[in-house]
């Protein structure tokens, strides 16, 4: 039940943005075993004046930087998270062609009882 929010600079074509959604979904299916149809993702585009990044940690980021925030159940292992990071960078490199240095991903762990996926119910508590 990952929930993903993607942020990038405005101006990319629809196909580029859709390739990001598709790559993230595929990476989650392959590394986290999320079920088919488990796609809960949003994307926000920012004008250049509202999108900042630096070169900290020895990473040469460009204007094509994509921030990816993933919230998951707190049951994922470190190995699964590492595999997800790697697979995301690989798939987004293939399509739409984002350099690995421009893929900035964070994972937030949330206890299952903190989720309601509809109807006002705590389905996983």
- What are the tens digits of pLDDT across the range 15-26? 999 999 999 999
111 is catalytic: no
Rounded distance between C-alpha atoms, residue 9 and residue 91, angstroms: 19
pLDDT at 1 over 90: no
**Annotated catalytic residue, options 2, 13, 96, 111:** 2
Q: What is the pLDDT of residues 34-59, one digit of tens each?
A: 999 999 999 999 999 999 999 999 99
Q: Is the pTM of this model over 0.75?
A: yes
All domains in the chain, ordered by first residue = 3-55+62-113 (3.30.429.10)
Contacting residues for 8 by C-beta, under 8 A, at least 6 apart: 17, 20, 43, 44, 45, 46, 51, 64, 65, 66, 67
14 or 124, higher pLDDT: 14
């Amino acid at each position: 039940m990952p929930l993903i929010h993607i942020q990038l600079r405005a101006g990319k074509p629809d196909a580029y943005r859709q390739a990001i959604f598709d790559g993230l979904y595929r990476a989650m299916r392959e590394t986290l075993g999320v079920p088919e149809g488990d796609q809960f993702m949003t994307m926000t585009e920012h004008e250049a004046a509202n999108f900042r990044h630096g070169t900290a940690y020895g990473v040469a980021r460009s204007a094509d930087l994509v921030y990816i925030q993933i919230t998951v159940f707190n049951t994922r292992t470190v190995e699964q998270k590492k595999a997800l990071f790697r697979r995301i960078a690989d798939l987004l490199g293939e399509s739409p062609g984002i350099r690995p240095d421009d893929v900035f991903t964070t994972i937030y762990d949330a206890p299952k009882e903190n989720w309601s996926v509809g109807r006002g119910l705590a389905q996983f508590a």
